[in-house]
Amino acid sequence: MAVTLSAEQTQLLTSLVQQGRYPSLQDALDTALMLLVDETELEEPEDNPQYLQWLEQTRHKVEEGLAQLERGEVLDGETVIAQLRQKVLSAREQQQ
């Protein structure tokens, strides 16, 4: 099945990839669809307090991230990956 995205949708996904939030357009779109499935599968969110807590935390993190973006507090993808690798290496060294 072929789906055509609007220019605005394409721009949004492209922007997320360029910001380093997703490695590819497909990954960004997959994540959006998974969130949609999660949202529509849960007919009565008040029945799932863990979901509500996760949703509130996620919304807060998104708001924080958008505020940082507006202030220009961003890192490119390479920097983030390098920092994550360093954390993993440090954790491994501490385990030994």
Radius of gyration for the alpha carbons in the chain, expressed in angstroms and rounded? 17
Q: In the Cβ-directed half-sphere of 40, how many Cα atoms lie within 13 Å?
A: 6
Q: What is the mean pLDDT of the chain?
A: 87
> What pLDDT, on the 0 to 100 scale, is given for residue 71?
92
Q: For the segment 32-89, what is each residue's pLDDT rounded down to a tens digit?
A: 888 888 877 756 666 778 888 988 999 999 999 889 988 998 888 899 899 999 999 9
0.75 surpassed by pTM: no
Looking up tokens 């994540």, which residue turns up? 31
Q: And the tokens for 27?
A: 């990954």
Domain extent listing, the chain? 7-42, 49-94
- Contact between residue 13 and residue 28 where contact means Cβ atoms under 8 Å apart: yes
